[in-house]
Chain A
Amino acid sequence: MSSSSTTTTTTRLLMLKASDGVTFEVEEAVATKLGAINNMVEEEGSEDLICLPNVNGKFLGMVLEWCKKHANNNTNSDKGNDEVNKWWDKEFVMDLDQNTLYHLLMAADYLSGTELVDLLTEKVASMIRGKKVEEIRETFKIKSDFLPGQEEEIRKKNSWAFE
């Protein structure tokens, strides 16, 4: 593709190993979008296999897919790229189920992928905004563990928030 000429000078491949033993070979420019990997490369170099015991292969794959898209789209400074990235991000989070969303968020947080954390937390926030407490409870399957009457007590005490 057209990006080949710009990346030939910097293309170095990193080997990442997920908790379940799945390995990924990615360009350094892609993987270093993740703060944690950037730090590891800076401190220990990029020759060795980088082990990530807290991330499962499935979710590491998804995180890297996101990084790859954003690393590619950032190389050419076209004005329309912001739009493309936004559109792509929207698609990326659109149909995520809560289980995937949770694991992705944990992975992105662990890997310090700041922009990805922003994207995913905003997605969760959009599932909260505009909802009544009961709807939030239903959406996220949150079970109340208050003692009988305790919830009512908090509600009363903070009546200024529940009118």
Chain B
Amino acid sequence: MATKRVNRTFGRKKDGVPNIMAVDRISKLPDPVIHHILSFVPTLYAVRMSILSRRWRRVWYSIPALHFCDSDNMGYPVFGGQQKKAFYKFVEECVKHRQICTRYITDSVITRFKLDIEHYGDNAPIDKWFTSAVLRNVEHLNLSIKAEDFVGFYRLPEAVLNARSLTVLKLSGLRLGNPCLVSLPSLLSLSLMQVELFDEPLRNLMLGCPALEKFCLKDCFCLPKLQISSSTLKFLEIIDEDLFETIEVVAINLQSFIYDGDSNDINLSACKAIRSLSLDSPLNSKSLEDLICGLPLLESLTSDLHFELTLKHIRICGQHLKSIRLDIDDCGQENPEVTIEAPNLISFYYRGDIMCGISMNAPDNLLDVQIVIEEGYSSGQKYDRDWYINLIMFLSNFIFSWKTTVSLHVNSEEVCILYASFVDLVYLQIIIARLIYLHIYK
């Protein structure tokens, strides 16, 4: 304690050993590291930092990533007063200066270009900046327009849709309407968010991206029937709000498919290579069962389950399944049944009611089982003797080996109080034959 205090006063002295906190460390970092840091900072700050010291004077000329955003991290406009004019002028000058400096600075490549703006309806300058970025062989292009009305949708210039060096393209809040020729031979990842998109342009886009591996589609408009076909695609993520009626994916190399939306007609019959499937959809148990059966290589399944009056049973089977995560929001009045046949299962997660009967002949390599017991909101669950009997019934359907670790999550402290008072719990432990981690959460 005493020595610490001495050090602190010593450090404050103007002479002698400098205070370790008062040393300028950042200026001593090597250039590439500084460029890396400033790649994560909106370009405005990097430019303003040029007046810090001579070390920082020209640093921003070599930052490989340009990021223009017209509001700061709190959502306030970055330029006061003539906001729009000042912001456009700023981007204009930055692009111009970076263009000029290529003549005397060797490492002035621009690999990433990001524009994050409110839509002003003035498209010509944006076209110009993008075209200039494309001409400088930009690899990542990210455009996000916060469109308040969809009347004045921005359209991408043709140069961007024919950028040979582009590997990652992220677009948000614009229109891919006019059927122009698309050629993006290096594009690996495409992300569209709130993009207006019709059948024809989407087909053009897919045809023009012969190397595409990752495709994310989030809240896009105007496509009741979505059809995606690509022979290179490996990851596909679709998140929509009740827009697509049917979804058909034809992608023989697809490995991972994530869907979160309201469609109950999903066709993946041409995607036999899928290893990971994650669904948050209203698919009924029969459709889900068929979908899973059609995927022979499936290793990881995450899904919520929906049961209808006539369909109270689902069978999930797969030779390669290693991980299963199931969610049941509402069991309904009848008690549904889930049968799992997965001889290579390693981890199993279940969240839902104990009234759902899950039967599984757990394989030896099943290491990790997590069960989160959630009662229906309306039921006002009482943790009485009946509840314990149901719990025991629920757990007795599983046949675990000695290696399996089971953790049980329950959402009330009541369980804990009663835990000690029921002799049956001894029986419960025998069934599981292994450690129970009991978690109480609220």
Are A and B physically bound partners?
yes
CA distance A128 to B38 in the complex (A): 9
Instruction: Return A121 CB to nearest CB of chain B, in Å.
Output: 4
CB distance from A140 to the nearest CB of B (A): 4
Q: Interface segment, A16-24, A51-59, A60-68, A95-103?
A: A95-103
Q: Is the interface of A mostly helix, strand, loop or mixed?
A: helix
Contact check, A144 vs B346: say whether CB atoms are below 8 A apart.
Answer: no
Q: Using a Cβ–Cβ cut-off of 8 Å, how many residues does chain A contribute to the interface with B?
A: 42
Encoded as 1 (CB less than 8 Å from any A CB) or 0, chain B from 33 to 62 comes to: 100111111101101111111111100000
State whether B302 touches A79 (Cβ < 8 A).
Answer: yes
Residues of chain B lying within 8 A (CB to CB) of residue A9: none
User: Out of A99, A140, A161, which one reaches B90, CB within 8 Å?
Assistant: A161
Known A79-B323, A130-B73, A160-B93; further 10 A-B contacts with Cβ < 8 A = A77-B323, A109-B32, A121-B36, A125-B39, A129-B41, A129-B73, A130-B72, A140-B25, A142-B56, A154-B50
Residues of B within 8 A of A (CB): 20-30, 32-33, 36-42, 44-45, 47-57, 72-74, 79-81, 86, 89-90, 93-94, 278, 300, 302, 322-323, 325, 346-347, 367-368, 405
A98 to B29, CA, bound (A): 12
CA distance A32 to B56 in the complex (A): 34
Q: Which of A78, A106, A125, A144 contacts B40 (CB 8 A)?
A: A125
25 A-B residue pairs with Cβ-Cβ distance under 8 Å, sorted by A, are A2-B367, A77-B300, A97-B21, A98-B21, A106-B33, A121-B33, A121-B36, A121-B39, A124-B26, A125-B38, A125-B40, A126-B40, A128-B41, A128-B49, A129-B42, A129-B45, A136-B49, A141-B24, A142-B27, A143-B24, A144-B51, A145-B55, A158-B50, A161-B48, A161-B93
Distance in Å: Cβ of A162 to nearest Cβ of chain B: 7
Complex contacts, A143 vs chain B, CB 8 Å: 24, 53
Bound-state CA distance A99–B26 (Å) is 9
Known: A129-B45, A130-B72. A78 touches B37 (CB 8 A): no
Q: In the assembled complex, which residues on chain B have CB atoms less than 8 Å from the CB atom of A146? A: 51, 53-54
Does A133 make an interface contact (CB < 8 A)?
yes
User: Does B367 lie within 8 Å of A141, measured CB to CB?
Assistant: no
- Other-chain residue from A78, A109, A124, A136 in contact with B52 (beta carbon distance below 8 A): A136
B29 neighbours in A (Cβ, 8 Å)? 102, 105-106
Give which listed residue, A99, A131, A137, A160, contacts B25 with CB less than 8 A. Answer: A99
Task: Name A147's closest neighbour in chain B (CB-CB).
Answer: B54
Q: How far is the CB of A110 from chain B (nearest CB, A)?
A: 10
User: A163: CB under 8 A from chain B?
Assistant: yes
In the complex, chain B residues whose CB is within 8 Å of the CB of A162: 48
Residues A105 and B33 in contact, CB atoms below 8 Å apart: yes
Of residues 103 to 126 in A, which have CB atoms within 8 Å of B's CB atoms? 105-106, 109, 117-118, 121-122, 124-126
A155 on interface, CB distance cutoff 8 Å: yes
Tell me if A76 is interfacial: C-beta within 8 Å of chain B: yes
* Least Cβ–Cβ distance between B55 and chain A, in angstroms: 8
Count of A-B contacts with CB under 8 A?
Answer: 125
A151 at the interface (CB under 8 A from B): yes
The answer for the CA separation of A154 and B59 in the assembled complex, in Å, is 14
How far, in angstroms, from A118 to B40 measured CA to CA in the complex? 9
- 7 A-B pairs with least C-beta separation: A125-B40, A102-B25, A161-B47, A121-B37, A140-B26, A160-B93, A121-B36
8 A Cβ contacts from A28-83 to B: 76-79
Residue of A nearest to B19 (CB): A141
Asked if B347 contacts A76 (CB within 8 A), the reply is: yes
Q: How far is the CA of A76 from the CA of B348 in the complex (A)?
A: 12
Query: In the complex the two chains form, is A121's CB within 8 Å of B40's CB?
Result: yes
Residues of B contacting A142 in the complex (Cβ-Cβ under 8 angstroms): 24, 26-27, 52-53, 56
Contact call B325/A79, Cβ cutoff below 8 A: yes
Chain B residues with CB below 8 A from A158, complex form:
47, 50, 93
> Does the CB pair B367–A163 fall under 8 Å?
no
- Out of B21, B25, B33, B323, name the residue touching A78 (CB < 8 Å): B323
Name A137's closest neighbour in chain B (CB-CB).
B52
Contact yes or no, B80 A163, CB < 8 A: yes
Q: A57 → chain B, closest Cβ, in Å? A: 18
Query: Which of A97, A99, A130 has the largest number of chain B CB atoms within 10 A?
Result: A130
Do A154 and B72 have beta carbons less than 8 Å apart?
no
A144 engages B53 (CB within 8 Å): yes
A residues near B325, Cβ cutoff 8 Å:
79
Q: Which residues of B contact A121 (CB under 8 A)?
A: 33, 36-37, 39-40
B43 to chain A: closest residue by CB: A161
Bound CA span A126–B54, Å: 23
In the complex, what's the smallest C-beta–C-beta distance from A116 to chain B, in angstroms? 12
Contacts of B346 in A (CB 8 A): 76
Task: Compute how far the CA of A137 lies from the CA of B28 in the bound complex, rounded to whole angstroms.
Answer: 14
How many whole Å from A2's CB to the nearest CB in chain B? 5
For B23, list chain A residues within 8 Å (CB). 98-99, 141
Which residues of chain B have C-beta atoms less than 8 A from A109's C-beta?
30, 32-33
How far, in Å, is A96 (CB) from chain B's closest CB? 12
Find A122's partner among B40, B49, B74, B94 (CB 8 Å cutoff).
Answer: B40
